[in-house]
Amino acid sequence: MKIKDIQHKIKRGLLTCRRLAVQSCKSFGTVDSDSGKVRKKWTLKRVLKNILGWFLFLIFAIVLAVAMRVFLLASFVIPSWSMAPTLMPGDFVFVNKMIPGPRIFKSWDFLRNGDFSMKRLKGYRKIRRNEVIVFNYPYSNRYRLELDFNVFYAKRCVAIPGDTFLIDNGIYRVKNLPDTLGYYDKQKQLSETPSEKFPPHIYKCFPDTVYGWNIKNFGPMYIPGENDTVAIDTMNIRLYRMLIEYETEQPVDVRDGQVFIANEPANEYVFRQNYYFMAGDHAKD
């Protein structure tokens, strides 16, 4: 072979290598080891298009998950025995937010102005008696009704707005309603347990010692609903004081045998919201 031919072949080889190097910067592909052919060619434009597609899919998935968490479903782990044997500690539950209606911030500037107050959107039906409900604990402050958004309770709704609820020797009852409420076997066990078997802080019950209510005998107590007019006096104001202060954002006082709301004498009150009575299936909680 002549030197010129060798030089020519080397030149052609270098040109080929250069052309392949340029192509490798513009495209990607997989090579079949048998045929040496490119199975699938990925141009830089196509790669970027696929990356953008996956990125948009990821953003959509995150938005969908957040929307479902806010408006549709929430998940919780049961922390205690209060709902045993219906729900046991460690049970993982999903909660349907569409029944009572999801809560959203009143102002979307909450991060800037620090106003974390919320409002509830309309649900598709009312909460029913005997349903298990997950809710924020409303009495994180013992002196006023104040929701703690970091504390969740799982309880059974044993009374709805308009009910008069009582515990009769350990058995949950609603006046003029013959149906069994909650987990009856545990209530029967509570009924048969001597009162002295309970520690004093368990046996004594809300609201205070004036009523003498306890874990086995409680009420009767009227559960107010929206637009309910309830006569109030110096005795039953102990039951409704925090609810009225929560709704009006005004102080409630008792002076000289008279109830005052925002320093105005009051003998009745029209409630603005619905209220519910919750109790654990374990009957002691």
What pLDDT does residue 16 have?
56
- Is residue 201 domain-resident? yes
d(CA 71, CA 194): 46
Question: Digits of tens for pLDDT over the chain (285 positions)?
Answer: 444 554 555 556 545 555 544 454 444 444 444 554 445 555 677 777 788 888 888 898 888 888 777 777 888 889 888 898 999 999 998 888 888 888 877 766 666 666 667 778 887 888 999 999 998 888 877 788 887 778 889 999 999 999 999 999 999 999 998 888 889 999 999 999 998 888 887 888 776 677 889 999 998 999 999 999 999 999 999 999 999 999 999 999 999 999 999 999 999 999 999 999 999 998 665
Neighbours of 83 (CB within 10 A): 24
- Is residue 175 domain-resident? yes
Containing structural domain, residue 173: 162-279
What pLDDT does residue 38 have?
45
What pLDDT does residue 142 have?
77
State how far the alpha carbon of 233 is from the alpha carbons of 3, 222, 248, 252, 266, in Å: 118, 14, 18, 12, 8
- Is residue 188 domain-resident? yes
Only one residue has tokens 């408006």, namely 71
Q: In total, how many domains does the chain have?
A: 1
- Is residue 117 domain-resident? no
- Is residue 192 domain-resident? yes
- Is residue 4 domain-resident? no
- Is residue 251 domain-resident? yes
Q: What is the DSSP string of 8-57?
A: HHHHHHHHHHHHHHHHHHHEEEEE-TTT--EEEEEEHHHHHHHHHHHHHH
What pLDDT does residue 26 have?
44
- Is residue 214 domain-resident? yes
